[in-house]
């Protein structure tokens, strides 16, 4: 049975890395002794080793061991054998490029669909959607495709940010960008604010955490959903 924890952000303002998620991580990976970490998104360009150290420190607070995928000779075998998987945030273009380049995208999808618990934050959450096309990141590298895992039947916009009504800046707001996406694409989008996450359990998808999320569909007025809402019909 498919099982995923998809968080908008790894870190809340003023907190340590993954701090607010530690109790969730503990519950989510119950029975797992070691989690496989995918550091491909390399936030700020840090090395896979540094990033793994950072994640391992946080996971140890949940009583879990964590090992970076770069420590294995064959990354596809590492995914196939993993008891649980966590993909951290960073640059989504880089993450997706690396997943394809290392032939991990397909085996990762298969592992999750066959029941390996999958946790993502930010870019790691974005790739659980149908495509990476609602990322906020800069295209710092050209990926072979924008198609991603499709663990949920919609797209995800992590770090969703409401328009600043006092802004005099003429760059597009997040909502305008998502509207532009919908002039060319049909899948719904969930704007996941920092502090909230999706809990996937088989066919059940539930919004969890603190703030409301925002749902966007083509040619419809976007609307808010409360924590606890089921997203069964979002496809």
**Chain residues that interact with a second copy, rule: CB under 8 A:** 9-14, 42-45, 90-91, 93-94, 132-142, 145-146, 158-159, 161, 168-172, 176-185, 194
Q: In angstroms, what is the minimal distance from the CB of 179 to a second copy? A: 6
Q: Quick one: three-class SS letters along 5-41?
A: EEECCCCCCCCCCCHHHHHHHHHHCCCCCEEEEECCC
What would the two tokens of residue 29 be? 């990976």
- Given a contact cutoff of 8 angstroms between Cβ atoms, the answer to whether 38 and 148 are in contact is no
Nearer to a second copy, 118 or 160 (CB): 160
What would the two tokens of residue 223 be? 């609307």
Residues with Cβ within 8 Å of 231's Cβ and at least 6 positions away in sequence, in order, are 152, 154, 190, 198, 205, 206, 207, 225
Nearer to a second copy, 90 or 188 (CB): 90
Closest CA to 109 of 81, 79, 140, 132: 79
| H/E element, 216 | strand 213-216
Catalytic residue among 8, 13, 33, 122: 122
Q: In angstroms, what is the minimal distance from the CB of 134 to a second copy? A: 6
d(CA 179, CA 71): 41
Nearer to a second copy, 2 or 193 (CB): 193
Active site residue 137: yes
Q: In angstroms, what is the minimal distance from the CB of 172 to a second copy? A: 7
Nearer to a second copy, 172 or 224 (CB): 172
Q: In angstroms, what is the minimal distance from the CB of 164 to a second copy? A: 9
Catalytic residue among 8, 10, 159, 196: 159
- Given a contact cutoff of 8 angstroms between Cβ atoms, the answer to whether 3 and 205 are in contact is no
Q: What are phi and psi of 168, to 5 degrees?
A: -105, 5
Q: In angstroms, what is the minimal distance from the CB of 94 to a second copy? A: 7
Nearer to a second copy, 59 or 181 (CB): 181
Burial per residue of 48-61, b for 16 or more beta-carbon CB atoms within 10 angstroms, e otherwise = beebbebbbebbee
Catalytic residue among 8, 47, 74, 137: 137
Where in the sequence numbering do the catalytic residues fall?
122, 137, 159
């Amino acid at each position: 049975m498919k099982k995923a924890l998809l968080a908008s952000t790894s870190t809340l303002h003023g907190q340590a890395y993954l701090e607010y998620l530690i109790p969730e991580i503990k519950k989510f990976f119950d029975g797992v002794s070691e989690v496989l970490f995918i550091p491909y998104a390399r936030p700020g360009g840090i090395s896979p080793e540094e990033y793994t150290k950072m994640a391992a420190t946080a996971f140890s607070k949940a009583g879990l061991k964590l090992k970076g995928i770069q420590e294995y000779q064959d990354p596809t075998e590492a995914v196939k054998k993993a008891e649980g998987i966590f993909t951290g945030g960073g640059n989504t273009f880089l993450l997706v490029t690396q997943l394809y380049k290392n032939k991990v995208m397909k085996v990762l999808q298969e592992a999750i669909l066959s029941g390996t618990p999958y946790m993502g934050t930010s870019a790691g959450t974005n790739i659980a959607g149908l495509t990476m096309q609602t990322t906020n990141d800069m295209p710092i590298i050209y990926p072979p495709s924008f198609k991603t895992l499709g663990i949920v039947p919609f797209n995800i916009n992590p770090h969703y940010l409401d328009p600043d009504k006092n802004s005099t800046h003429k760059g597009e707001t997040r909502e305008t960008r998502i509207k532009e996406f919908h002039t060319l694409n049909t899948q719904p989008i969930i704007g996941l604010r920092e502090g909230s996450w999706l809990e996937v359990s088989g066919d059940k998808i539930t919004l969890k955490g603190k703030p409301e999320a925002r749902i966007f569909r083509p040619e419809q007025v976007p609307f808010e959903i409360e924590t606890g809402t089921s997203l069964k019909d979002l496809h």
